[in-house]
Each structure stands twice: as structure tokens, then as C-alpha cells.
Amino acid sequence: MKAILTIFSALLVCSSASSQIAAQPLLKDLIRQSFTYFPAIKEKEQSVVTARERMQLTELNKYPDVSADAGYTFVQPKIELPINGEKFQFAPVHNITTSVNANYALFDFGRLKAAIERSKKDIQLAEHQVDYSKCQLAFQVATVYYNITYLRKAVVIEDSVLAYLQENKNLLTTQVSNGTALKIDLLSIQSAIDNENNRRIDLLNSLQKQYNLMEFTTGTTAHPTNQVFDFTVPTQNLLATLTQAQQENPEFSIARDRIQQSTAELSISKLADKPMVGLRAGAGIRNGYVPYVNDLRFNYLAGLSFTVPIYNGGKAKQQQKFQQQQIVQQELAMETLSNQYKKDLMQALADINSAQERIKNTEGQIQQTKAAEKLAYQQLKNGVGTHLEITLASNRVQQASFTRLQYEYQLCLAQLELARLTGAKYWE
């Protein structure tokens, strides 16, 4: 009873958590746009259409097969016998026959039903594969989206560093002209500015590559202007998170579909030794009826057929054993998948907790480095500081700012990974 309550509570928590994921409308629009643009999604959706057509083809086996036949045969020598001094013809020389024939499986002992159920499992698998592909594509788009966020924020930090160094360069230029500073100091700070400009160029190059990736996945040429890590996922305990993944992640649905497919195949295999009762009928015209063998006459037929397998070398039993082993293999694959997801979920939760703690620890570091930077500028302005102190202070501020930015970025990616693992559809 406790186990049932625990699972029920976990499901309620999962349902609540899935609805509390925060994703911006722009990100949702980009993801939905990628679903209609990306060719791989269209390919998977086409597989669903193909599976449905295949099931319709299977369902058509419940209807009879009707065919029309016509034939002409010339036979020699003529078949005739002398009777009472006259020759009597028993068969025509010109044999003509036309007919419409129908065959219908009257009782197949569940074969057609089993085949239809197998086709339904194929459709279900194809649909879940579409969902899985969409989840993977959504994760890719979201990752690119927040890569852009990271790089744009990094450019902003770089711009602030350059502005600070340029301000110091202007101050040094005045001091050099006044003879209170050396030209080597001015050259050194210009070298620092050049290095930061090169770093900014690298950031912009990486940013353009992410824009290209966004266009590749969504087809849009518009550049997202997001500068906030606004994706949040409520964290839960490992049991609730794993339960949510098992219930909502399409990869688990696919694993269950494969088990059901193998089970359906086993059901079909068990019917291989069942008999088949069929109905056949036909009607048409033909000649050859004694005594007027050349006259065309209407004829018809109707009958039942009964077919039962007697011996097939043990292939049916071996096929059943094979399908049973397939079921066992798919069940073990499900266990492997659960074990893998448990490990990945543990890692994602650990990454989230770690990033959150690190972000808290960077607040004091940033405040301290900015205060030191301000002090170094005042000292240089008053003639008691050096360009080296300015450069070091600027580097420390930059390093602290980038460190915090990286932790925020890592937290966002860890939350994206958690959403992917749990199968949350945050784009809806």
C-alpha cells in the first residue's frame, strides 16, 4: 500500500512539475517553427503516414478477393466415339471459358486480428519516434538559444572591460602629455585593449556560428536578442524525477512499444499451426457440356476449403521461442534504459545544485573585484597608482564576471538536460 501511495504521489509531483517549467514565448516559437521546418521531423511524420497506410492494407484482408478469368483452348484430335453408327463428340475443339471467382477467408482463428494489432503497434511506435525526434530537436534549439544568450552576455562583459580600459587609456594619455606617466605605460594598456578586442572578435565569431545553427534548425534568419537565462525547471527527488521520465519521455514509450511489438509477433507465431477455413465461389459461361459440347452455357460453383498445417519441421515452435527471446531482450533493454536515465538524472540534479551554490559564492567575489577596480582607477587618477594595477584589477573583474556567467550558463544547460530527460514538453 505504501508503495502505491509513493508512486501515486510521485506522479502528482511530476504532473505539477511539468506544468511549472518556465520557457519564454520566443523560445517556444522557435522550437515550434523548427518542427515544421526541419526535414528530419518531416521524415518521421511520413513514417507515421506509411504505418497507417500499412495498417489499412492489412485491414483490407477482411474483404474477399474477386477476380475475372477468360480462356480459349484449341484441342486436337477431336474427342469423339461412334454410337449407333454415328460419331458422338464428347469435348469441343474450341474450348471457351469465362468466369468471375471469389475467395474469402471465412475463419482464420485470429490471424487477421493479430496482424491488425501488430500494425497498430507499428503506428504507435512511429508516433512516439516523432515525439522523441521533436524532444531532441527542441533540446538542440534551446541549447543554441541559450548559447546565444551566453555569448551576447559575454560580449556585454567584454564591452564593459574595453570601456574601462579605454577610459584608463585616456587618463594615461593626459598624464603622458603632462609628463607624469611613461609612454611605455600607454603602450602596455593599448596592448591590453588589443587583446580584449581580439577576444571580442572571437566571441562575435562564435555568436555568428550559433546564429547559423539556429537558421539550420528553424529556417529563420532573424537573430534572437535574448540576454537572460530565463529557463527554470522545478527540481524534485530522484524517485519522482525518474518516475516522470518513465511516464513522459518518448524514449521509454519507444522501449515499451518494442516490447508490445515483440508480444504481437509472438501472438502471430502462435497462430501458425491453426487451420484456415475458406469460402470460394464462381460463376461464368463455358462450353463442353455433353451432349451439345459447342454451346456456351452458364455455370457456377461454390464450396468450402479447409487447410490445416501438419508438419513444418518445427519452424513454428522455433519461431515462438525466438519471439519469446525477443521479448526478454526488449524487457532487458527497458531495464538498461532506466538504469542509464537514473545515472543521467542524478548527474543533472547534481549539476543544478552545484551551479546554484557556485552562483551564490560569486556574488562576494564580483563585489570585491569591482571595488578593487574602482580603487585602482582612483589611485591612478591621483598619481599614486600604476597601469599594471589597473590591468590586474580589470582582469579580476572580467574573470569574476565570466565565472558567474559560466555558472549561470551551466545551470541553464543542466536544467535543459533535466527537462529533456524527464520528457517535459516546455514548448507547448
Which pTM value belongs to this model? 0.82
Distance (Å, whole) CA 387 – CA 380: 7
Q: What pLDDT score was predicted for residue 290? A: 83
Q: What pLDDT score was predicted for residue 144? A: 95
CB 355 within 8 A of CB 410: yes
- Cis (ω within 30 of 0) for the bond into 77? yes
Q: What pLDDT score was predicted for residue 134? A: 95
β-partners of residue 286 are 97, 297
Q: What pLDDT score was predicted for residue 129? A: 95
Going by C-alpha positions, the residue among 394, 416, 349 that lies closest to residue 150 is: 416
Instruction: Summarize pLDDT for 200-221 with one digit per residue, the tens.
Output: 999 999 999 999 999 999 998 8
Instruction: Summarize pLDDT for 73-92 with one digit per residue, the tens.
Output: 998 888 888 877 778 788 88
Instruction: Summarize pLDDT for 15-44 with one digit per residue, the tens.
Output: 444 447 877 889 999 999 999 999 999 999
Q: What pLDDT score was predicted for residue 388? A: 63
Quick one: cell of 271?
Answer: 497462430
Which top CATH class is 2-64+109-276+312-422?
mainly alpha
Q: What angle do CA 365, 368, 374 make, to 5 degrees?
A: 140
Distance (Å, whole) CA 254 – CA 307: 38
Q: What pLDDT score was predicted for residue 178? A: 77
Instruction: Summarize pLDDT for 328-349 with one digit per residue, the tens.
Output: 999 999 999 999 999 999 999 9
Quick one: cell of 366?
Answer: 564580483
Give the Cβ contact number of residue 49 at 10 Å.
11
CB 37 within 8 A of CB 219: yes
Give the Cβ contact number of residue 108 at 10 Å.
18
Quick one: cell of 298?
Answer: 452458364
